[in-house]
Structure 1
């Protein structure tokens, strides 16, 4: 892939001169995802303010970062050689899913608080601190690698290998931490079913549980795709064909966050546990307790 050295201003695509993407991003894809993530952000903001579930801001923040990333790709569709737009979309679209996983960790912690200690091997706030720390660490690694690789890919004869390897290390670490979380979530479900904890709840949290599982699956698919994509390098098949990025990153992320617009924690999380078994006190998971509306 030949990359133009022009990294500022706006230059239209020139046949025969490659871009940092290996293609010119589609205008329509940029518009669609900017609109979808913007709508999800607005709805999430209304929802968490209305129900005063303040930790729900993580979903709004994640959507906002996704909007910035897809806006940068929209920018690149008109200015395909602009290095600032390329770097902006790399950085933001790496960061955004971290906010969504943080929301999922909080939801699982809230489930554990409601169902009691017998539903999990870990305390509610332990999930948040362990997995958010892992996400932040992987984020720092990926961002550092992305910066190195982006600088190299926009330089004449630049060596992208060190940055690419660093990004791959970050995304693999994130995939590993999400995999551990998936096993913890499966263990939570197994324990809840074994002890008949869900049946003892006043009302039901099953829709939100299904939404959480669906969101985790979407994020997991995206993580696997990103791992393979970056492992192939900047001239690999996946990274130079936008349709895969649209389907396995953009679509997966809008599904991962959009499902909580439909099945929102503010509506589906009970305010009280409704059970006589031992449960965690509110200070065990301060960020997870929604105040009454």
Structure 2
């Protein structure tokens, strides 16, 4: 989103608000929605001990306070601080969600003991894409900082920088989706070997669906910044909710249901059950006996025992 500036008063720049009246009810709805999502993910993170969800939690908090800034705008349409709060929090927030998504696939792969089926080593999944995420964040936050100034020249530069950051993030996500699809197909060919007691496909498909939501959001927001403050997207509030708030809230909901920590917990339970069923119980007897041993010597088998 780009600030709307009036320079008619002797050339002095003044922010005049958004080109529409901000919907109060919609703003409050998403404050409540993201706030509830934050609480749910905090509880799940502590319960499942999935500390790699901390960036995701930060993203949810940013969305919550970002839409508070939008509500503030609905009450004070020309309040530049409210606009800055909204734009600086909502635009880069999905980057934090993405960081956890990148780390989630490596956890899923390791939980399934399927590292050999991954096109990239699990540890590199996190490192490569989180590094790309950091670059996206730095570029977008720099561009956003420029767009929330009242300098028309700086706004135009900021728009370009933001678009570059969004395009780069889309490319990173497309690469990520491709690698996850490759893993999904390879794992699916294992004749159901990974299916025993697990529903791992749901978690991978949920990850892909969430990735698609963020790609869609970035595509529309990129078009918005490319068009500028007077563009069709920026001039209609429906796009701010339909292609900004809704896709990101969908991501929050998807991971509230398919939190990778649940799959990890299921795998641990199966492994514990398997180890217990396969183990030989220790039986005590009144007279200790020597165990039967297999001795291999010159290709012949002997049994050593005490009568």
TM-score band w.r.t. shorter chain: 0.7 to 0.9
Tell me the CA shift for residue 147 of structure 1. Answer: 1.0
Task: Tell me: CA distance 1:169–1:273, structure 2 relative to 1, closer, same or farther (3 Å).
Answer: farther
User: For 2:223 and 2:193, how far apart are their aligned partners in 1?
Assistant: 38
User: For 2:137 and 2:117, how far apart are their aligned partners in 1?
Assistant: 30
Check the 8 A contact 1:201/1:274 in 2, yes or no: no
- Which structure's CA Rg is the greater one? 2
2:186 is the alignment partner of 1:175: no
- Equivalence for 1:97: 94
Check the 8 A contact 1:201/1:273 in 2, yes or no: no
User: For 1:159 and 1:116, how far apart are their aligned partners in 2?
Assistant: 49
Task: Tell me: CA distance 1:194–1:74, structure 2 relative to 1, closer, same or farther (3 Å).
Answer: same
Structure 2 stretches of 5 or more lacking a match? 8-13, 272-307
Q: 1:130 aligns with which of 114, 128, 140?
A: 128
User: For 2:4 and 2:144, how far apart are their aligned partners in 1?
Assistant: 19
- Bigger relative contact order, structure 1 or 2, given CA contacts below 8 A and separation 6+? 1
Tell me the CA shift for residue 56 of structure 1. Answer: 2.3
Q: 1:148 aligns with which of 146, 149, 162?
A: 146
2:235 is the alignment partner of 1:237: no
Question: What is the total number of aligned residue pairs between the two structures?
Answer: 261
Tell me the CA shift for residue 210 of structure 1. Answer: 2.5
- Please report the TM-score for the alignment, with normalisation by the length of structure 1: 0.82
Instruction: Name the Cα RMSD after superposition.
Output: 2.2
Check the 8 A contact 2:70/2:86 in 1, yes or no: yes
2:35 is the alignment partner of 1:38: yes
Alignment of structure 1 residues 255-274 onto 2, 5 Å:
255-269=250-264, 270-272=266-268
- Equivalence for 1:205: 200
> Per-residue CA shift, 1:115-174, capped at 9, x if unaligned?
4222212111211111111111111111111111211xx34x555211111111111111
Tell me the CA shift for residue 212 of structure 1. Answer: 1.4
2:114 is the alignment partner of 1:112: no
- Please report the TM-score for the alignment, with normalisation by the length of structure 2: 0.78
Task: Flag the structure with higher strand content.
Answer: 2
User: For 1:2 and 1:183, how far apart are their aligned partners in 2?
Assistant: 39
- Equivalence for 2:219: 224
User: For 1:159 and 1:50, how far apart are their aligned partners in 2?
Assistant: 46
User: For 2:240 and 2:49, how far apart are their aligned partners in 1?
Assistant: 35
Tell me the CA shift for residue 21 of structure 1. Answer: 2.8
Does the residue aligned with 1:203 lie in a helix, a strand or coil? coil
Tell me the CA shift for residue 20 of structure 1. Answer: 4.0
Check the 8 A contact 2:108/2:260 in 1, yes or no: no
